[in-house]
Amino acid sequence: MKVFKYALLALVLMAATHVEAQKFGYVSSQALLAEMPAVKQAEANLDALKKQLQKKGQQMLTELETNYRELQRKEAQGDLSPKQIEEEAMKIKEEEQKIAQFEQDMQRQLLTKQEELMKPVIDQVNQAIEDVASEGGYDYIFDAVGGFILYAKESHDVTGKVKAKLGL
């Protein structure tokens, strides 16, 4: 019985020496970004662009409304023939399509600008996370908000092994 206990103890000690402890950490990326002056500046620039684009869109809408009211007035007074009414209505329809296209372009432009302004900030945060991980000996760093892995030691990447299992 004593021999069994000693053998079990020896096995446990040998296993413990082969097990490598992994060090985990986490950050709150939202809190980091909220405190960065570069993010506040990027948001201010984005808001300015948004207001500028919205102003242009509002001008287009005002012009459309004016043209529509003018068409209604001329039609009510009998100043236009049916063919002229149809032509003017087509012009208004084209203006509506231009406004719809402008709105889509505006959204696309805002997204592009946001990505352009935030990329250097995100790169800076990622570099800081990698530096902290290296200096602190962390194997993994997670984002506290989404639970995403923000940093992992390359030695823990098993993608190649999984690909091999899948025959890829």
Cα torsion angle, 53, 54, 58, 59, sign: negative
Query: 160 exposed, middle or buried (CB, 10 Å; 0-12, 13-18, 19+)?
Result: exposed
Predicted TM-score (pTM) of this structure? 0.69
Q: Indicate whether 10 pLDDT > 50.
A: no
Closest among 67, 139, 130 to 98, alpha carbons compared: 67
Please report the pLDDT score of residue 165 as a whole number: 63
Name the token pair of 140.
């993994």
Please report the pLDDT score of residue 128 as a whole number: 86
Q: How far apart are CA 129 and CA 148, in angstroms?
A: 13
Cα 30–Cα 33–Cα 35 angle in degrees, nearest 5: 110
Q: How far apart are CA 73 and CA 77, in angstroms?
A: 6
Contact by Cβ (8 Å): 22, 155:
no
Q: pLDDT digit string (tens) for 146-166? A: 767 777 777 666 566 655 666
Contact by Cβ (8 Å): 121, 33:
yes
Q: pLDDT digit string (tens) for 73-91? A: 988 898 888 899 899 999 9
Q: pLDDT digit string (tens) for 31-59? A: 888 888 899 999 999 999 999 999 999 99
To the nearest whole number, what is the mean pLDDT of the chain?
82
